[in-house]
Amino acid sequence: MTKTYDRQYFEKWYRNPRTRVSSDMEVRRKVSVALSVTEYFLRRTIRSVLDVGCGEAPWREHLRELRPRVSYLGLDPSEYVVERFGRARNLRRAAFGDLKSMRLRRFDLVVCSDVLHYVDEREIRPGVAEIARLTEGIAFIEVLTREDDIIGDLEGLIRRPARWYRDVFTNAGLLPVGPYCWLSPELRDVTTELERR
């Protein structure tokens, strides 16, 4: 069965107070961490963000409040999301597996939040390699693993071990530097030992 990311899906998991998985403040906390870590390593204010699997783009509002001049591009496979919010929020229709074929420029911050645990394994390795290529500063990759206590949308969820994801990320050249934060391969040489996890 193919999962449908339609209006009802977003109503249930993002707006309904009884079933939603993240509050607005939780999203704001993640955005704040990603911004801080990115700017710490880039040593400048963030200019551009790519949000892979952005949904209705909840990160965009917080990014714009904290950094009004930031350039934002969201990608999502949902026809509903792109039709409803595409023009106003700069969203394009694309699945995770389409990332490499899009030939995008590089971004200071690449976000891939709550996506990979729903993606087929064959798409993950090339997709993560493309994320590493696109990342100028930090890739914020939030993923749930077999070891986590998971609540929320379990339909199509693939429980892979954390070690599997760590291997995929490090094999792509990404370096762990904070909660869900992975440093661009190009910045590896400018870090000290204790800045890395």
The distance of Cα 85 from the centroid of its chain, to the nearest Å, equals: 18
The distance of Cα 44 from the centroid of its chain, to the nearest Å, equals: 21
Enumerate the H helices of the chain as residue ranges: 7-10, 24-42, 58-66, 79-89, 121-134, 162-171
For every one of its 197 residues, what pLDDT tens digit does the chain have, with 9 covering 90 and above?
A: 467 777 777 776 677 777 777 788 899 999 999 999 999 999 999 999 999 999 999 999 999 999 999 999 999 999 999 999 999 999 999 999 999 999 999 999 999 998 898 899 999 999 999 999 999 999 999 998 889 877 666 667 788 999 999 999 999 999 999 999 999 999 988 888 888 77
Task: Indicate the helix (H) or strand (E) that contains 178.
Answer: strand 175-178
Fold adopted by 18-195? Rossmann fold (3.40.50)
d(CA 139, CA 34): 8
Helix, coil or strand: residue 146: coil
Segments making up each domain of the chain, as ranges: 18-195
d(CA 183, CA 161): 21
